[in-house]
Chain A
Amino acid sequence: MGLFVTSASASGQRSEVNRSWWVSLFVLCAILGALLGISFKAQNQIRQKQLPSANYEGLADRYTILKQHSDDSDRTIAALQQQVSRLERAVPNNNGRMAVISQDLQHANFLAGMTEVTGPGIIVTLNDSKKRFPNAPLGVQDAGIIHDSDINGVINELKAAGAEALSINKQRVVGLTAARCAGPTVYVNNIPQTPPYVIQAIGDADTLSTALKLPEGVYDTISQMDPSMIKIDTSPKLLIPTYAGPTQPRFAKPVLAPVSGGG
């Protein structure tokens, strides 16, 4: 800046002009400093706030933590459910009426999918195709991939054919179970699943597999793309796990029928 002085005096400017020049230089430099300050601050803010797009590590960390939390919750739910069934079993020994109620409860639990179930049935294995489909029409660019609609189609068909208990990859299918795609993963009971999707169904094996293999049915639709995507096996003894998700409704309340007489 010393250079400004020499040149200003060299060009013979009066000192009054000089002074106003200093003022404007001062102001301009202050403005420049302010601009720089705001810019620095904005960049600091971006770094500190860890905006998602700029911070994959942070997101991954948070994902791991949330995953851990959810695993913990799963374990808690399983433990509590075990406790409930233990308590239920402990009560009835004392009197006959309780035994009846308890039996009812066991049955209701079984129907609701709150118990493990065993029996004969079929195993349907759905897997993504290893083939490429370069000639697939634009609408089905993801041909060769198992979607939630495929899984739901199989489940629906099995239910219609009289399957009594169902599971997808060890997730029990209960009344409120949803299988749906979110990005590249299929969630069942809000738990992410990866292919192959193994669907177990307890029921009459012949009826179940025939239902799937109806002409133009689910089996046809999937195996048309690639026969290796769907496989049906029968098994004399399947073990279908209990439902492990949350069971406390938040909104629905039961409407109880009025107790009539004798009860």
Chain B
Amino acid sequence: MGWWLALVAAYLGFAATFYPAFDVDIRYSPYIAVAALAGIDALIGGLRAAQEGKFKSHVFVSGFLVNTLLAAFLVYLGEHLGQRLDTAAVVLLGGRIFVNLSIIRREWMDRLDAAAEKRHAQSRAS
């Protein structure tokens, strides 16, 4: 149920902004894009933490909010310092997303292996 709820929520948010006919001020698109990336990172970080049994909902919520805002602020700051700090954010967040995803994938593979072994053991027993 959790999966579907999250997916539905994400789709609702997406639909509410993507389909209506209004013009986005393109000046803000770099901020929003990096904020979105930070959001994805927080979500996948939460997934990983849950998998490791270390998940704390307040850490997740605060991490999501603070990271998105911080990422957008970093881009803003970079623009004013004349440095491409958004690259730093993109590299870091993107890298972390990959790392977390690969950890999650390994964990799932382990579980699949374990399940297969279990089935094997059962069929042997019967």
- Chain A interface (Cβ < 8 Å from any Cβ of B): 1-8, 10-11, 17, 21-22, 24-43, 45-46
> Are B33 and A39 closer than 8 Å at their CB atoms?
yes
Residues A29 and B18 in contact in the complex (CB < 8 Å), given A2-B2, A7-B53, A39-B32: no
Expressed in whole angstroms, the minimum distance between the Cβ of B2 and any Cβ of chain A is 3
Contact of A34 with B16 at beta-carbon distance under 8 Å, contacts A1-B6, A2-B2, A28-B64 already known: yes
Say yes or no: B47 contacts A33, CB within 8 Å.
Answer: no
Q: List 15 A-B contacts (CB under 8 A).
A: A1-B4, A3-B47, A7-B51, A29-B9, A30-B9, A30-B10, A30-B13, A32-B39, A33-B10, A34-B13, A36-B14, A38-B18, A39-B33, A39-B36, A40-B14
Task: From B1, B46, B50, name the one whose CB has the most chain A CB atoms within 10 angstroms.
Answer: B50
Q: Residue B90 at the A interface, CB < 8 A?
A: no
Q: Given the complex, which residues of B lie within 8 Å of A45, measured CB to CB? A: 23-24, 26
- Residues 1-39 of B at the A interface (beta carbon under 8 Å): 1-7, 9-18, 23-24, 26, 28-29, 32-33, 35-36, 39
Please tell me if the beta carbons of A32 and B47 are within 8 angstroms of each other in the complex.
Answer: no
Q: Which residues of A contact B35 (CB under 8 A)?
A: 35
Evaluate contact between B18 and A35: CB separation under 8 angstroms: no
Contact yes or no, A1 B9, CB < 8 A:
no
CA–CA, A31 and B12, complex, Å: 9
With A4-B50, A39-B29 as known contacts, state yes or no: A32 contacts B5, CB within 8 Å: no
Question: Which of chain B's residues has its CB closest to A20's CB?
Answer: B57
Most chain A CB inside 10 Å of its own CB: which residue of B3, B12, B14, B53: B14
B: number of interface residues (CB 8 Å): 41
Question: Does the CB pair B5–A41 fall under 8 Å?
Answer: no
Residues 37-71 of B contacting A (Cβ, < 8 Å): 39-40, 42-43, 46-47, 50-51, 53, 55, 57, 61, 64-65, 68
Distance between Cα atoms of A10 and B65 in the complex (Å): 25
Q: With the chains together, A145 CA to B65 CA distance in Å?
A: 59
Whether A35 and B36, one on each chain, are in contact in the complex, defined by CB atoms closer than 8 angstroms, is: yes
Closest A residue to B27 by beta carbon equals A42
State in angstroms the CA–CA spacing of A42 and B25 once bound together: 7
9 smallest beta-carbon distances between A and B, as pairs: A33-B13, A37-B17, A1-B2, A42-B29, A29-B9, A33-B10, A35-B36, A37-B18, A34-B13
Q: Which residue of A lies closest to B72 (CB)?
A: A35
- Contacts A7-B50, A22-B2, A28-B42 known; list 10 others, CB within 8 Å: A1-B3, A24-B57, A26-B5, A28-B43, A28-B61, A31-B68, A32-B10, A37-B13, A39-B36, A40-B14
Q: CA A1 – CA B16 in complex, angstroms?
A: 22
Contact residues in B for A11 (Cβ distance below 8 Å) = 53, 55
Chain A residues lying within 8 Å of B14, measured Cβ to Cβ, are 33-34, 36-37, 40
Most interface-central of B2, B28, B32 (chain A CB within 10 A): B2
- Tell me which residues across on chain B come within 8 A of A26, comparing CB atoms: 5-6, 9
